Amino acid sequence: MSQEINKVEKQDLSLVVRAIGSDLEHTQIRLIASANADMLFHYWKVGHFILYLQKKEGWGSKVIDNLSKAIRSKYPDKKGYSTRNLIYMCQFAKAYPMEILLEMGKAEKQLNSPSVDNVLQLTNELNQFTQEPLA
């Protein structure tokens, strides 16, 4: 009788350990995805700051070059703020206006409890929305 109880307890413990491991892996994936999303949003905001400064200061003001130098001077340990990368951030901000980001945010919330039909429907909607001509 006590052997059977020990066997059940070991099986329960094994199931709990697997559940904890699975939850840990899912949590780590969500954490990485969240960090990536935050960095993308940061790059998008930097791009919009650049667009604002370019509009305010006018063509030929070397906004991107000056901003790159200023950021790298003030934060020498931070990487990714070269002139080329700031140009990419600016292009990213132009390509994805706020409306598209809001739609993607809504889709992400709906995908937190996914079903196959829900995923397919949202994928089709996002593809249609992002493929519409911007002009």
Q: Where along the chain do its domains lie?
A: 1-96, 98-134
User: With bands split at pLDDT 50, 70 and 90, how would you rate the model's confidence at 116?
Assistant: low
Of residues 66 and 132, the one with the higher pLDDT is 66
| 70 has pLDDT over 90 | yes
| Mean predicted lDDT score pLDDT of the chain | 80
Q: What is the pLDDT of residue 24?
A: 87
Q: Are 107 and 122 in contact (CB under 8 A)?
A: yes
Residue 23 confidence (pLDDT): 84
Lookup result for tokens 């709990």 = 16
Which of 39-48, 80-89, 121-130 has maximum average pLDDT? 80-89
Which of 131 and 27 is assigned the larger pLDDT? Answer: 27
The pTM for the full model equals 0.62
Question: Minimal CA–CA distance to 111: which of 119, 103, 101?
Answer: 119
Predicted confidence band of residue 108 (pLDDT cuts 50, 70, 90): low
C-beta separation of 43 from 92 below 8 A: yes
Higher-confidence position of 80 and 18: 80
92 in helix, strand or coil?
Answer: helix
Q: What is the pLDDT of residue 5?
A: 58
Type of residue at 22? S
pLDDT above 70: percentage of residues in the chain: 71
